Amino acid sequence: MKKLEFKTMINAAPEKIWEVLLGKDTYPIWTAVFAEGSNVKTDWKKGSKAIFLDGKGNGMVSEIAENIPAKFLSIRHLGDVINGKEDLESEKVKEWAGAYENYTLTEVNGQTEWSISLDIVEDYEDYMMDTWPQALKKVKELAENKE
């Protein structure tokens, strides 16, 4: 697996950005760059299951590995969801199961740096290099304009 890293400076408090990242109303907006109609089913608590789905009901099953509000979120991806069924066993899934997606918020001179690191298989590198910058831009826009 390969590790990718992205970061952006946001003119908003970490708490506001956290609300945008995990908020029921804002999560589908910023993640639409990855999959139209995206949503998540989780309580975001450490150890909880998280089901990330696109508008067709396909996606990933994951676990919240760590959640330190307004500071750090770690998601461990476990498998796929295809047609509503979880796949934790196939060879395709075994190639990337256990991959982490980590979000870190750090205050820097009155702004907040949002950094992301994620483990990926090379097949998805171009896709992630294209979509993550769009996601960062959308979160920045939402957080800086959110009342």
Q: What's the number of domains the chain is made of?
A: 1
Q: Which two tokens stand for residue 11?
A: 């003119």
Domain residues for the domain of 67 are 2-145
Q: Give this prediction's pTM.
A: 0.93
Q: Which of 101, 35, 33 is nearest to 65 (CA)?
A: 101
What are 111-135's pLDDT values in tens digits?
A: 999 999 999 998 889 999 999 999 9
Q: Where are the alpha helices (DSSP H) in 1-147?
A: 14-22, 27-30, 91-94, 125-145
Asked whether 22 and 39 are in contact (CB, 8 A), the reply is no
pLDDT in tens, 71-80: 999 999 999 9
Summarised one tens digit per residue, pLDDT across range 55-108 is: 898 999 999 999 999 999 999 999 999 988 999 999 989 989 999 999 999 999
What CATH number corresponds to the domain at position 19?
Answer: 3.30.530.20
